[in-house]
Amino acid sequence: MTTHDRRLTPARPDLAAAHLEGVVAAPRYVAGTPRRVVAAVADLGPQPRPDTGIDTQLLCGETFTVYDETPEGWAWGQSGTDGYVGWTSGEALGSPGPAPTHRLAALRSFVYPGPDLRLPRSDCLSLGSRVTVTGTATTRGTDYALLVAGGAMVLAHLVAVDAPPAEDYVAVAERFVGTPYLWGGRSGFGIDCSGLVQLSLAEAGIEAPRDSDLQAAGLGEAVGDGSADPSGFRRGDLLFWKGHVGIVAGADTLLHASGFHMTVVAEPLRAALARIEAAGTPLAGVRRPVTTPGQ
């Protein structure tokens, strides 16, 4: 079989997605079954096991095409958001259902059993999650969105799925400061470097690949020769090292989900450049995301 990136190609030695017939060789091809993520966050990993670590995560309301399932309850398929392929728990997936009407614009927000903040929370969702709202209710002056799946959320934390994108993706990323670093994380509960870039850009209406190497290969446009001279950097530029990406948030500020600090941190840019290079990883390139109109 021709070598393909397993992260983005729904193909294994024993099966492949039907749309890949004639592209990759496989003993059988599967059309796939559309599902929607019903868990707040679902881990996606390389193996149908809970002890192998994760590659990325799926957020509530995102779509996922299932190509294979195991008797133990694992589902193998592909994310409809960024095309990432892997294994997730079948319990995290439900029927496609009605299309989401709203997305969560707050970093995190609770789901309550009903429209009342005094009720015990039933779940908590991350920025970027999508929900289907069927109506609204007001309790003691607070407006709530009533969800088709049951429960309610504070209406002010939601925006329509077709609402105008955020004007400044860096401002979105800055809201994550203090969020714990999590390898493969892609939510307001825990996030890694490329997850921070992807989620923040998504709020600004800019699609981005999931992993830092994929982002470095083609996100936006290359800036200069990729040198480590900060004088030419602009707010919003992405700095790439092998296996890492950070955001220029100001003249001397680097914003990134850092495994060194184990949190999302804004730190002095020049000091960070020196520290990372001293650890044996020099700056590999600089890219400027293509912005949406009005940015």
Q: What is the pLDDT along the chain (295 residues), one digit of tens a residue?
A: 456 899 999 999 999 999 999 999 999 999 999 999 999 999 999 999 999 899 999 999 999 999 999 999 999 999 999 999 999 999 999 999 999 999 999 999 999 999 999 999 999 999 999 999 999 999 999 999 999 999 999 999 999 999 999 999 999 999 999 999 999 999 999 999 999 999 999 999 999 999 999 999 999 999 987 677 888 899 999 999 999 999 999 989 999 999 999 999 999 999 999 999 999 999 999 999 976 434 4
Full-prediction pTM beyond 0.75? Answer: yes
- What's at 117, amino acid-wise? L
Cα–Cα distance measured from residue 126 to residue 123, given in angstroms and rounded to the nearest whole number: 10
Domain boundaries, the chain: 16-94, 102-160, 169-288
Pick the CATH number of 102-160 from 3.30.70, 2.60.40, 1.25.40, 2.30.30: 2.30.30
Count of positions (residues) in the chain: 295
Pick the CATH number of 16-94 from 3.40.50.1860, 2.60.120.20, 2.30.30.40, 1.10.340.30: 2.30.30.40
User: Is 169-288 CATH 3.90.1720.10?
Assistant: yes
The two domains 16-94 and 169-288 share their CATH topology (first three levels equal): no
pLDDT value for 226:
66
Long-range own/partner contacts, residues 53-56 (CB < 8 A, 24 or more apart): 53/183, 53/184, 54/183, 54/184, 55/7, 55/84, 55/86, 55/184, 56/82, 56/84, 56/86, 56/184, 56/186, 56/195, 56/210
